[in-house]
Amino acid sequence: MQALPGFRDFLPDDCAARNYIFARWREVARRYGFVEWDGPILEPTELYTKKSGAEIVDQLFNFTDKGEREVALRPELTPTLARVIAAHEREFKKPLKWFSIGRFFRHEKQQRGRLREHFQLNCDIVGEVSPSADGELIAVCIDVLRSFGLTAADFVIRISSRAAWESFLQEKRGLQGYASGQLQHLLSVVDKMERQPDVKTNEQLARFDVTAVDVRQWIAEWNQKIFEKNSVAGNTALALLHTTLHEYLLPRGLLDYIAVDFGIVRGLAYYTDVVFEAFDRSSKLRALAGGGRYDGLVSQLSDGASKMPAVGFAMGDVVLGELINETSAASEQMQKAIETAGKIDIYIVIAKEERRADALAHVQTLRDKDYRVDYPFTSEKVARQFQTAEQLSARLAVLFGDEWPQVAVKDLTTGEQQLISNQELLAYLARSLSLSS
């Protein structure tokens, strides 16, 4: 039997790598003052169709449960967040700064950087309309990636504005008066332009009487306009994006990680203004992360009961892991973490079986002190036990044998060995491990 297509087994080193990624995610999120939360892995299918339409069902692992309810394994967290906020927003002081690390599922064709299940970091700020929240989220995304040893030479955050696109397109000949749903269709085509041939893009754009060449020209114009003060002053959406960049990211010294790119529009309909995606500089991989402002989603999922501004992003573990493995400094950093995860502090060598009870008493005492300790379950030759200690990368070996009530402590790094009274053992081990850490 094998794992299902698009699903993964996590062997010990794989699990260590996953835990390393989770630890960096949590560390940075908490450093920014975010608190952790989570939601159920199973939700009503309606939660996703209400947000994205019936076509989303083709991408879901959905079924009818034993209570005759239509349910789906979660493909993303934002709808759950909106549902939870709509139900509980009065219980919390705004703005909320929440993060979550969870497992997600999409029933789609697996390819490089995309599987049918993955883990994902979500960071969201809810209840803050100021562009300072957008700047904060982008800064979190940058610092998360930097925490893995990645630099501005390795990744870039491409930033855009959905609101600027919509106001711009309404002014173009042939687009005046189009409904928001039609504009959303156009933006969904723009979102896929770089991933499909121009022939197909032109077919999808025909209803708007524009071509892929036209759209690329608009993108180039807008990318330039963001740096022209007069253009920014005359456009509210551009002014907000300009503020995010120059008032909330420039002072942090983070603009080296930013590129304005109006080709970024994000395919999901609920985004309302600033959007961004993180990419490797070589453009070999899929997006590392993506997000933006979604001011209307909480209201949509609460039938208008709660009008709550929000901004957030998500980062998956699959593409991130590929970039880490392809970047030497980041790969070395992760490999050290994997090796450390498999190490123990002390291996107890039982040379005489009549000393096993004394050895186990010390094993328990040392573990109570938070040392990582292992020992042989059954009688083994001493040489075999030392071999096991080295395979486990133990720093010290403690031998219980004929010398009792003394024990032999061997430093497996230097090879030095000393006899220590068993009453002094704990203090001696504490000093030795402190000096070698």
Q: Which CATH class is domain 344-436?
A: alpha beta
* Mean pLDDT estimate for the chain: 88
Q: Which of 25-29, 172-176, 183-187 has the lowest mean pLDDT?
A: 172-176
Residue 172 has pLDDT above 50, yes or no: yes
Total-model pTM: 0.88
State the average pLDDT over residues 171-175.
Answer: 56
pLDDT at 15: 94
Start-end ranges of CATH 3.40.50.800 in the chain? Answer: 344-436
pLDDT of residue 186 exceeding 90? no
For CATH 3.30.930.10, the residue range(s) in the chain are: 12-39+77-336
Pick from 152-166, 252-266, 376-390 the range whose average pLDDT is largest: 376-390
Six token digits for residue 17: 């790598």
DSSP bridge partners of 96: 126
Q: Specify the pLDDT at position 25.
A: 98
Q: How confident is the model at residue 227 (pLDDT cuts 50, 70, 90)?
A: low
On the question of pLDDT at 178 being above 60, the answer is no
215 vs 29, more confident:
29
| 298 has a pLDDT exceeding 50 | yes
Predicted confidence at residue 376, as pLDDT, reads 95
Of the candidate ranges 11-20, 142-151, 166-175, 427-436, the one whose mean pLDDT is the lowest: 166-175
Cα–Cα distance between 277 and 24 in angstroms, integer? 19
Extended beta strands in 11-162, E state: 35-36, 42-44, 62-64, 70-73, 96-105, 117-126, 155-161
Tell me how crowded residue 385 is: count the other CB atoms within 10 A of its CB. 19
* Fold held by 12-39+77-336: BirA Bifunctional Protein; domain 2 (3.30.930)
Burial (CB < 10 A; 0-12, 13-18, 19+), residue 91, is: exposed
pLDDT tens profile 76-116: 998 899 889 888 888 999 999 999 999 999 998 888 878 99
Pairing state between β 117-126 and 96-105 = antiparallel
The pLDDT, as a whole number, for residue 173 is 47
pLDDT (0 to 100) of residue 333: 94
pLDDT of residue 329: 93
Please give the average per-residue pLDDT across 343-348, as a whole number: 94
